[in-house]
Structure formats: C-alpha cells, structure tokens
Amino acid sequence: KEAHIMEIFDALGLSAHKDTIVGDIFIRGLSGGQKRRLSVALEALSSPKNFFLDEPTSGLDSESAYQLLKFLKDYAQKGKGRRVILTIHQPSSFIWNLIDNVVLLSKGKLVYQGPRKNMETFFEHCGHPTPPEYNPADHYVTAVNDEFSLHSKDADTWAADFQEWAKQHHTTREHKRLSVAVAENVGIEDPERGQRPSFASTGRRRSSVGLFFQPVEIGTSRSGGFFTAVELTRRYFKNLFFNPGILGTRIAMYVMLSLVIGALFWDLGSNTTYPSIQSRTALLFYCVAFFVFMSVAVLPFTVLERGIVNKEVQNGYYHPALYQAAQAVSSIPGTALLAFLTTLIILTMTKLNEPYWYFLNMFLALNCAE
C-alpha cells in the first residue's frame, strides 16, 4: 500500500509535500493546485473502474495540468476496464493529444461525439478545416460558438450536421449506443430514427452513464471495521495537534467562565440553610447549562470538517457510524481536561464537597454535548 501511494504521489508531483499538512482557513498548507492534485490522488487510491472528474485542470499551470492528464491517461491504460471521464475547458495541444474520445456540446446540443482523431475530418466536412499550427481544441470551440459571430452556424445546425456525418462514418454498435446515450442526456433526437429515444422501451434511467455502467450505490462503504475506526481516531488527534487553537480557545473560555461562576458563588461551604441549598442548586444548574452550551465553540471547526467527511462517506471510504465512534473516542481526553479544570476552579472557590461526583457529572455532560 505504501508503494502504491508513493507511486501516485510521484506521478502527480506530490512526493516533496507528503509531510505537508493540507491546511485550512486558519493554517497555511498546500496550494490550491496541490490540493486539487491531492483530491485526484485520493480518488485514485481506491482504483475505481469509472473515474469521473469535473474540470480537474482548473487552477493548474500548464505543466501541472499536463502531468495530471498524463497520469489519468496512464491510469486508464494500466487497469483493465478503467474509464476516465472528465470535463475540460481550453486544453492545451499537449493535453488534447492525450484524449481518446470527445463529446462536444453547444447550448446543450450534441455537436460531436467520437474519437478525437476524427474531429479534424468532421470539421473539414462542415467547412471548418483546422488551420496549420493552431490548437485544434481552440479551433473547434471557436467554430461552434455563435455568440460572437453572425456567420457561425447555430447549435441546431451543428447537431444536424453531426447526425448526417455520423450516419456515414460511425456505424459500429458502440458509436450508436454512445450517440443514443448522449442524445438522451442532452435532449437531441435519435440520430438513427430522427426522433427522441423511448425511455420506456429501454427501461433505463435518463443518463448516458446508465447505458454502459452498472449503477453504483452512493454512500456504501468499501472499508470498515476496527482498523478504520482506529485510523480515523488517529487522524482526529492529528488535527487537534496541528490546530491547538481549537482546544486552547475552549480552555480559555471555560477557565474564564469558571472564575466568574466561582466568584458569584464564593465560599458556599457546608452550610445547610435553605438559602445555601438554593445557591448550590443554582450553581450546579449554571455550571451544567453554561458549560454544555459553550460546546458550540467548536461548531465552526465542525462545519469545516463536515464537507470533507461528507465527500469521504459518499465515496465509500468508511461508514458514518465509524466516523461518529472515532470522534466520540477522540473527544474524551479534551472533555476530561475541561471537566478537570472547571472542577478544580469552581470547587476551590465555592468550597463544595464531593469533587469526584462533580467531575463525573461535568465530564458526562460535556461528552453528551459533544
């Protein structure tokens, strides 16, 4: 596993940053481009058969974008039955030559679908030959864009031209199936029959992916058990180590509030009069209510982490119950420290008895709040 991870990191240029924290809004870590490459690496670790990416080169420089696409190309070729499907804008000539098949859309209409190497023939057939020493991808996008030129053909005309051209050049079963799949998804007519395909007759979902791939259960876990929970717990402790401000802020808040409450209920002692009993009742109520309510101080950090957890759960890295268990276990030392500090301060200032029961009550209350 370690060798597999390092192989992917080497291919994506992340080896030099393997010990660098990712970072967040509080701590500086990886750059935006490095984070994007890291997200691709994380998905590649599980070796999915169908790899979907939405604009993976956005925010990357030309060399990083090329190396990323080269990695994806090698990934698809090395694994049997692997497919890499991605959306991309303005690819360079080097990136363009790595692509095998292209689906080109204009205003939701299918302008071209098929092998990349056949696009030059299609556009030449439509009266738009590729100029020499010109990026083919830029030329094709410019040719189908009618927003800035009154002389360009509209999307419907391009779609009709492609249907006519496809009848003459694309006769294999695979091309027909993919044409129908894309037609279902973008709403064009069936290129073979001149009408929209019948979804009822096929019994398939309105999706181009559904025609080729088995449906995937989103959110199912590919891994689970004790070792996954241990690893999640270890990761949570690492987050606390690299973000000491999370626990430090809470300690400062709890200490300050403990001093305020201790000053308000100073030296209650062991007096058993009715007013003293009322004061003890109020003290215990305020301690539990205020300290439990102050657990919302970690809410901003939880919101930041939620996006990562949701993504990992949807990708099947682990079950949500394992994450909850790991979070509950890893929060015990922090809540124990907070309960100990509040118990020490308040009982010292108020002269209450039974410190062990007070600590246990506060510890359980804080854990419930977490």
Please write the tens of the pLDDT for every residue from 14-39.
888 887 878 776 677 788 888 888 88
Where do the DSSP E strands lie in the chain?
50-54, 83-87, 101-106, 109-115
Task: Name the least confident of 6-20, 222-236, 331-345.
Answer: 222-236
Q: Is 52 helix (H, G, I), strand (E, B) or coil?
A: strand
Q: Is 103 helix (H, G, I), strand (E, B) or coil?
A: strand
pTM of the predicted model as reported, rounded to 2 decimal places = 0.63
Q: Is the pLDDT of residue 268 over 50?
A: yes
Task: Name the least confident of 183-187, 256-260, 280-284, 349-353.
Answer: 183-187
Q: Is the pLDDT of residue 340 over 90?
A: yes
Average pLDDT, the chain: 78
pLDDT class for 205, splitting at 50, 70, 90?
A: very low
Task: Give 181 or 295, the one with higher predicted confidence.
Answer: 295
Residue 341, pLDDT score:
92
Q: What is the largest CA-CA distance in the chain?
A: 100
Convert the pLDDT of each residue in 126-180 to its tens digit. Answer: 888 888 888 888 888 888 887 766 556 788 888 888 888 888 775 445 555 555 5
The token pair at 182 is: 């894309």
Residue 192, pLDDT score:
46
d(CA 186, CA 111): 11
